[in-house]
Amino acid sequence: MKRYFLILFLFTAISGYAQNTINNYKYVLVPEQFSFFKQVNQYRLNALTKTLLEEKGFTVYFDNSDLPTEIANNKCKAMNADLIEKKGMFTTTVTLILKDCQGNVVFKGKEGKSREKEFNASYTEALRNAFVSLNELPYTFTGETVPTAPVAKAAVPVVPVPTPVPASPVAAPATAPVNLPSGTLYAQATANGFQLIDTTPKRVLTLFKTSVQDYFIADSGQFKGIVLKKDGEWFFEYYNNDKLISEKLLIKF
């Protein structure tokens, strides 16, 4: 009889856990830095994780940002995203994990792998491959109730990282019309200078160092020109059909 009740208890517990699916959650929190990296948002992997989860249909926030009252008052309404890296000599391997507020695994994907030699490309490809199993899983937010978080001490307010605000456009010569920037570009060091990537992440410009400070030879793949700093702001200047074009850039080194 005791054995019967033990089996029934285990079955009930397992069934209850199985019902805690990704469909119970609208929100996901993404860390600003994964445990196997030494830098915040290294290789733009955290930003890409947030983007891919949003493409799946979740509402996603970084765990250090200002959160809506609904989540701030009850963290159990959100899943916590994490990546696990499997060390390999010639292969980059990462696994996506989604946990509830109590640390229980709600979803664990298949390993995403890449054999790219360059770290940025390798981690990006491995992460996209790690999302394949999640993307194959149907998701529709059901609005079901998730466990209530235990009462905790008042949280220490987190100071949000301010978003760079573009300065007023600097007047350019009549022969060089200025195009407004489309977003912040992030500089990654290379052997000869930098590559500028956006939040996709996609390489937008390649910069080559010169002997002059704040002056680079630039290649966008379509146009070749220069990137230079004028009055504290960065510009990409090049010729298109014999017409000088000047594009203002927001660069974060």
What pLDDT score does 9 carry?
Answer: 42
Coil, strand or helix: which one is 92?
Answer: strand
What pLDDT score does 51 carry?
Answer: 95
Q: What is the CATH number of domain 21-135?
A: 3.40.50
Domain parsing of the chain, residue ranges: 21-135, 178-252
Where is 240: in which H helix or E strand? strand 233-240
Per-residue pLDDT of the chain (253 residues; tens, 9 = 90+): 545 444 444 444 333 333 468 999 999 999 999 999 989 999 999 999 999 999 999 999 998 878 888 888 898 999 999 999 998 888 999 999 999 999 999 999 999 999 998 989 999 999 999 999 999 999 999 876 555 554 444 455 555 655 666 555 554 444 455 454 557 888 888 888 999 888 777 888 999 999 998 999 999 989 999 999 999 899 999 999 989 999 999 988 8
CA dihedral 184, 189, 195, 198 (to 10 degrees): -30
What pLDDT score does 106 carry?
Answer: 94
Which residues, in sequence order, are CB contacts of 7 under 8 Å at separation 6+? none
Q: Tell me the C-alpha distance between 46 and 30, whole Å.
A: 7
What pLDDT score does 197 carry?
Answer: 86
Residues linked to residue 209 through DSSP beta bridges, in sequence order: 216
